[in-house]
């Protein structure tokens, strides 16, 4: 999120993924795109049928995991 652009967490992530070394592109995404209900919809639409139920269970109790699906869907 844009609010985390200058956070310590972001610098730890950049360092761990060696973003500068490999030239990895990281972009921030507005908070409005982080919707857990939209994330669940993306999983429903895009998951392989054999994986759908296990993915639903995996993100069922995890707000941030569902939101990540929504944010990636925007890209």
- The whole-number pLDDT of residue 48 equals 95
Q: E strands, 1-75, where?
A: none
Q: Rounded distance, CA 18 to CA 23, Å?
A: 8
- In angstroms, rounded to a whole number, what is the distance separating the alpha carbons of residues 74 and 18? 24
CA torsion, points 35, 70, 60, 5, in degrees to nearest 10? -70
Domain assignments of the chain as residue spans, ordered by start: 1-29, 34-75
Q: Which residues of the chain have pLDDT under 50?
A: none
What does the alpha-carbon distance between residue 59 and residue 8 come to, in Å, rounded to a whole number? 26
Q: What predicted TM-score, i.e. pTM, was given to this entire model?
A: 0.57
**pLDDT the model gives residue 74:** 60
Which pLDDT score is estimated for 4? 64
């Amino acid at each position: 999120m844009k609010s985390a652009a200058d956070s310590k967490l972001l610098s730890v992530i950049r360092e761990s993924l060696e973003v500068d070394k490999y030239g990895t592109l990281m972009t921030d995404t507005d908070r409005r795109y982080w919707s857990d209900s939209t994330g669940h919809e993306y999983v429903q639409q895009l998951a392989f049928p054999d994986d759908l139920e296990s993915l639903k269970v995996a993100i069922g109790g995890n707000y941030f995991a569902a939101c990540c699906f929504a944010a990636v869907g925007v890209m």
